[in-house]
């Protein structure tokens, strides 16, 4: 490392990382100055993160003849695809045509605008949606094994108006299998070199901000300095970093369900290089999870069925104040999720009585009424008591309000007029023992992201790109492609597509 590099590193490590308008400091530990070994090669592209976005970027760049260094913190390639459900969405695919489904990117785009209430980054969504079919076709033609009945309209999130939602038979792993298979020839050719168990630590920049490479640190502490014409940050989100999650999203990180290597390193490096973060206003949480226990974060152990199209509710949902906050049988999953955002600690309790336990279809899919009883003894989030007062006190709900809420609901069952307009009211909640199940809202993805332009170049707040620096995947922020909503498949498909487009055409490799 020469003297200039040393000075540059020292300057960068002293820098404060700023969010958004530049007022709030991100609580990311400032990186220390690193004594680096310089590698002799100058790479056409360094990809930080061998996951959903990084792998296609490396594959397609290599096919163009680029020399690519792929830096991966984990011991294996695949990133969040190890954990993801793997839902993708694409319009105009070959599979759709084979199945006689007429669909267009414009219809997909219109659906996303409708579902997200126009809260997405329209340019990024256009780039994703108009190129999604080519991405999906490429996966499919290279061995992606799809559930035979797919595509579907989707049910877990607000449904699409057409059948354009695809899952692999082995969830995210079905996608990973194709990507890992496709990168092997590029590695064998010698175009792609992979550094496993190696973390990207700092970007190297010239005084004018041009990115010239990257400093990495191996598991053994060895530090290396790599020169490159372009650096792509594809290091995923920060959803496995509870402190950063809280700081950037403004909500507690409740569920331990995200890829552990996704710690927000790309956010930190991107900001340090001159980029900025945005999108906090798009945070949204899911609706029906039951956690293992009250610790934070905790594991999700099961789900209650809150989908009225699959099971009409017999119970009521109350917040910690003992008040209802949503019409339990409202058909829109988006409406239920938005209602939960206003509840303390994103938490609610499902309340029912003995008769409902015995007569209602199972609130946990596949469970018998006896299993609810067993759960009271074995699961920390299930409660049973002879009176509503006692139930409230055990579960941590405001007792007087709960009694009043149940009485009002029961009155609505008698009169037929529910305060929330609920239609399905099969019976009142009248006689003990009474039950409560504590349900937690949570998010497994990172809402806030690094701002980029429509060519996926990291941009400064004045709109100018940081030369030679690109970003893709969850690092852009879930809210950019899904808005303040959950639009099916609109994280994995854009991550794959942006990676592919960067490798295929957006990145420039000339000297």
Ligand X SMILES: Cc1cc2nc3c(=O)[nH]c(=O)nc-3n(C[C@H](O)[C@H](O)[C@H](O)COP(=O)(O)OP(=O)(O)OC[C@H]3O[C@@H](n4cnc5c(N)ncnc54)[C@H](O)[C@@H]3O)c2cc1C
The footprint of ligand X on residues 207-246 (CB under 6 A) is 234-236
* Interacting span for ligand X (CB under 6 A) from 350-358, 396-404, 455-463, 468-476: 468-476
Burial class (CB in 10 A: 0-12, 13-18, 19+), 38: middle
DSSP per-residue letters across 287-313:
S-EEESSSSSSB-EEEE----TTTS--
**Which positions from 280 through 339 interact with ligand X, judged by CB under 6 A?**
none
CA distances from 483 to 214, 418, 479 (A): 32, 32, 4
Smaller CB separation from ligand X, 308 or 473:
473
Piece of 124-132, 253-261, 313-321, 347-355 that binds ligand X (CB under 6 A): 253-261
Whichever of 165 and 409 has its CB closer to ligand X, that residue is 165
Place of tokens 């104040």: 321
Secondary structure class of 483 (helix, strand, coil): coil
Give the binding range for ligand X (CB under 6 A) out of 61-69, 128-136, 258-266, 338-346.
Answer: 258-266
User: Does position 125 bind ligand X by CB under 6 A?
Assistant: no
Which residue in the set 91, 491, 501, 502 belongs to the binding site for ligand X (CB under 6 A)? Answer: 491
Q: How far apart are CA 497 and CA 89, in angstroms?
A: 11
Residue 43 three-state SS: strand
Nearest-5° Cα angle at 465, 510 to 113: 110
For ligand X, the binding residue among 186, 265, 328, 334 (CB under 6 A) is: 265
User: Binding segment for ligand X among 35-43, 44-52, 338-346, 452-460 (CB under 6 A)?
Assistant: 44-52
Reported residue count of the chain is 511
CB of 288 to ligand X, least distance (A): 15
Regarding 249 and contact with ligand X (CB under 6 A), the answer is: no
Q: Does 54 bind ligand X (CB under 6 A)?
A: yes
Cβ-proximal residue to ligand X, closest one: 51
d(Cα 203, Cα 272) in Å, to the nearest integer? Answer: 8
Any bridge partners for residue 228, and if so which? 43
Closer CB to ligand X, residue 444 or residue 456?
444
| Binding pattern for the stretch 69-98 against ligand X, x by CB under 6 A and - elsewhere | --xxxx----xxx-xxxxx-----------
**202's tokens:** 């700092």
Three-state DSSP class for 510?
Answer: coil
- Residues in the site for ligand X, rule: CB under 6 A? 48-54, 71-74, 79-81, 83-87, 199-200, 234-236, 257-259, 261-262, 265, 444-445, 473-475, 489-492, 495
């Amino acid at each position: 490392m020469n003297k200039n590099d040393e000075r540059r590193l020292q300057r960068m490590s002293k820098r404060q990382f700023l969010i958004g308008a530049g007022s709030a400091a991100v609580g990311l530990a400032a990186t220390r100055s690193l004594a680096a070994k310089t590698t002799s090669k100058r790479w056409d592209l360094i990809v930080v993160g061998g996951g959903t976005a990084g792998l296609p970027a490396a594959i397609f760049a290599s096919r163009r003849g680029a020399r690519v260094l792929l830096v991966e913190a984990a011991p294996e390639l695949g990133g969040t695809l190890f954990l993801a459900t793997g839902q993708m969405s694409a319009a105009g695919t070959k599979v759709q045509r084979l199945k006689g489904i007429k669909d267009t990117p414009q219809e997909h785009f219109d659906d996303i605008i409708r579902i997200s209430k126009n809260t997405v980054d329209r340019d990024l969504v256009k780039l994703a949606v108009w190129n999604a079919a080519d991405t999906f076709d490429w996966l499919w033609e290279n061995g992606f094994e799809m559930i035979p009945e797919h595509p579907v309209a989707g049910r877990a999130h607000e449904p699409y108006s057409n059948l354009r939602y695809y899952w692999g038979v082995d969830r995210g792993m079905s996608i990973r299998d194709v990507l890992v298979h496709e990168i092997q020839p590029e590695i064998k050719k010698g175009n792609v070199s992979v550094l496993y168990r190696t973390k990207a630590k700092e970007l190297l920049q010239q005084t004018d901000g041009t990115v010239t490479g990257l400093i990495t640190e191996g598991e053994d502490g060895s530090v290396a300095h790599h020169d490159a014409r372009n650096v792509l940050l594809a290091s995923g989100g920060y959803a496995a970093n509870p402190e950063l999650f809280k700081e950037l999203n403004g909500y507690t990180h409740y569920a331990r369900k995200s890829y552990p290597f996704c710690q927000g390193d790309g956010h930190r490096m991107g900001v340090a290089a001159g980029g900025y973060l945005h999108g906090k206003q798009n945070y949204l949480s899911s609706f029906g999870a039951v956690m293992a226990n009250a610790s934070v974060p905790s594991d999700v152990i099961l789900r209650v069925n809150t989908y009225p199209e699959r099971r009409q509710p017999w119970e009521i949902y109350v917040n910690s104040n003992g008040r209802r906050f949503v019409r339990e049988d409202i058909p829109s999953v988006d409406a239920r999720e938005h209602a939960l955002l206003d509840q303390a600690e994103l938490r609610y309790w499902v309340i029912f009585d003995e008769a409902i336990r015995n007569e209602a279809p199972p609130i946990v899919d596949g469970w018998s009424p006896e299993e609810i009883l067993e759960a009271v003894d074995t699961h920390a989030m299930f409660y049973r008591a002879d009176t509503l007062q006692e139930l409230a006190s055990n579960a941590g709900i405001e007792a007087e309000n709960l009694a009043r809420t149940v009485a009002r609901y029961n009155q609505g069952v008698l009169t037929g007029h529910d305060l929330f307009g609920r239609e399905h009211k099969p019976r009142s909640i009248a006689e003990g023992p009474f039950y409560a199940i504590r349900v937690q809202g949570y998010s497994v993805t990172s809402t806030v992201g690094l701002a980029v332009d429509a060519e996926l170049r990291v941009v400064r707040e004045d709109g100018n790109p940081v030369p030679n620096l690109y970003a893709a995947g969850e690092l852009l922020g879930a809210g950019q492609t899904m808005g303040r909503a959950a639009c099916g498949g609109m994280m994995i498909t854009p991550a794959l597509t942006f990676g592919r487009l960067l490798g295929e055409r957006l990145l420039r490799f000339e000297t």
